[in-house]
């Protein structure tokens, strides 16, 4: 019996192992062939990695179209504000309301948009908001054609409602999709897209105005449609992990966040708002001053001059977002450097605002400071709260940013009527106040969450 077992075992063993071995050998031959053709396991991993990287890049681009469209919808009008005043027979202050009313409406509606994005989803807010934004742009264009200041203003207010559901919600969406260094890069790209819009807008607005002065109003719907398609088709929003809060809980959560972190959050909000106040105020100032003696610059050339400070901002913004990662100490140092540079450059414009080359150079340095400042603030603020609370806190932050944009043109217009020096003394002192707030109150951890 023992001999029979010994006789069977080798046969059974060999028969069960040989067949798979022959099959494996055939399979291995195929693998070797595919590896020879450059399709081995490591190559497949590399292909998958490249595919994932490409997908992420397209997501970045799709999300970045949202703030880009928003900026185009506002900044493209800056070069034509003097034309608007002449064609509609209104004052400089009234023309500034085209920017201000849009920004005020957006700022007031943003908290509601943030709540809705937390309650439902980011894309369900962003896409309808873009549709409203584009449709109201068409209405504003017809108001300009009919030379009706009332229709233009109403349409711009509606555009502000649409704008409330765009950029701030896109920032929250970035926080939902990414984390760590990837989130910082995405936020940096978002801010860079915002800045790119500011570079492109004056040139594009001036170029379109050569066709007919109100053409920029009709350009918005095209850009909105492209953004709607990009976000709708490319961005896949992650499912919510838990039930969002009701409205009362939402308000209470906001209050608790401000109670716990308001010591540094409120100064951070002020700095972000101040950056946009200075940026849009300077754009408004330049748009009006460049057409007057001694400069007498108009058309595409004016758009190019307006774009120079914005280019400094966008390059700096992208580089900052890509390099800060989650380094809280680096962010604080960069914010201090940014604000100190703004104090010095804006202060010097008091003496050199009549020398065009030096003047534009100093304003470019100030905008580089804004490009350093905003990505750091964006990363700190979005990282200060849990993912499910980001809609509310980024909405509050963007509300104040919009109010900064809204305040820029009318306040600069008021100061310009009194003295050019008053404009730059005021903004340099405000930058100095922001520098003090950052130095004494904003002290993030070594690594921002």
Q: Are 267 and 355 in contact (CB under 8 A)?
A: no
The pair of three-digit structure tokens given for residue 213, joined into one six-digit string: 């002065």
Looking at 137-141, 233-237, 302-306, 445-449, which range is the least confident one? Answer: 445-449
Rounded CA-CA distance 426/440 in Å is 22
End-to-end CA distance of the chain: 72
Least confident window among 323-332, 353-362, 379-388, 414-423:
379-388
The tokens of 400 are what?
Answer: 């104040």
Going from the N-terminus, what domains does the chain have, and what CATH number goes with each?
Answer: 57-441 (1.20.1250.20)
What band does 432 get if pLDDT is binned at 50, 70 and 90? very high
Q: What are the tokens at 333? A: 């140092």
Residue 48 has a pLDDT of 53
pLDDT-based confidence at residue 242 (cuts at 50, 70, 90)? low
CA pair distance 93, 413, nearest whole angstrom: 6
pTM exceeds 0.85, yes or no: no
**Mean pLDDT, the chain, as a whole number?**
82
Beta-bridge partners for 447 = 327
Q: What are 155-177's pLDDT values in tens digits? A: 999 999 998 888 778 877 887 88
H or E element, residue 323: helix 299-324
Query: What are the pLDDT digits (tens) for 81-129?
Result: 999 999 999 988 899 899 899 989 988 898 888 888 878 888 999 999 9
Above 90 in pLDDT, residue 362? Answer: yes
- pLDDT at position 391 is 63
Q: Per-residue pLDDT for 136 more than 80?
A: yes
Task: Say what the pLDDT of residue 183 is.
Answer: 78
**pLDDT tens-digit profile of 48-72?**
555 566 778 888 888 888 888 888 8
């Amino acid at each position: 019996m023992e001999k029979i077992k010994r006789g069977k075992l080798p046969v059974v063993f060999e028969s069960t192992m040989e067949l798979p071995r022959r099959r494996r050998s055939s399979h291995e031959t195929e693998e070797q062939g595919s590896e020879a053709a450059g399709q081995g396991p490591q190559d497949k991993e590399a292909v998958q990695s490249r595919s994932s990287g490409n997908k992420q890049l397209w997501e970045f681009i799709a999300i970045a179209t949202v703030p880009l469209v928003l900026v185009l919808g506002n900044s493209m009008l800056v070069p034509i504000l003097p034309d608007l005043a002449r064609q509609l027979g209104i004052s400089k202050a009234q023309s500034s309301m085209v920017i201000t009313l849009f920004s005020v409406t957006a700022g007031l509606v943003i908290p509601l948009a943030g709540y809705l994005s937390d309650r439902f989803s980011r894309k369900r807010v962003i896409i309808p908001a873009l549709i409203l934004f584009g449709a109201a742009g068409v209405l504003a264009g017809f108001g300009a054609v009919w030379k009706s200041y009332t229709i233009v203003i109403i349409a711009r207010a509606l555009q502000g409602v649409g704008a409330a559901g765009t950029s701030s919600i896109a920032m929250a969406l970035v926080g939902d999709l990414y984390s760590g260094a990837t989130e910082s890069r995405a936020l940096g790209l978002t801010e860079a897209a915002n800045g790119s819009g500011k570079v492109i807008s004056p040139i594009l607005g001036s170029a379109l105005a050569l066709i007919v002065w109100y053409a920029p109003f009709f350009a918005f719907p095209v850009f909105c449609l492209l953004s709607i398609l990009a976000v709708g088709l490319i961005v896949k929003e992650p499912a919510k992990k838990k039930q969002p809060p009701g409205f009362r809980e939402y308000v209470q959560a906001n209050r608790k966040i401000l109670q716990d972190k308001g010591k540094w959050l409120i100064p951070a909000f002020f700095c972000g708002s101040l950056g946009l106040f200075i940026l849009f105020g300077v754009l408004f100032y330049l748009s009006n001053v460049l057409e007057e003696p001694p400069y007498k610059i108009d058309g595409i050339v004016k758009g190019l001059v307006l774009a120079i400070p914005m280019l400094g901002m966008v390059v700096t913004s992208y580089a900052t977002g890509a390099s800060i990662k989650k380094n809280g100490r680096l962010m604080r140092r960069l914010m201090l450097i940014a604000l100190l540079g703004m104090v010095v450059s804006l202060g010097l414009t008091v003496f050199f605002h009549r020398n065009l080359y030096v003047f534009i150079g100093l304003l470019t340095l100030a905008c580089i400071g804004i490009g350093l400042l905003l990505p750091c603030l964006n990363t700190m603020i979005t990282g200060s709260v849990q993912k499910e609370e980001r809609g509310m806190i980024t909405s509050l932050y963007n509300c104040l940013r919009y109010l900064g944009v809204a305040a820029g043109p009318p306040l600069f217009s008021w100061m310009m009527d009194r003295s050019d020096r008053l404009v730059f003394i005021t903004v340099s002192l405000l930058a100095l106040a922001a520098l003090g707030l950052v130095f004494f109150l904003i002290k993030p951890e070594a690594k921002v969450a």
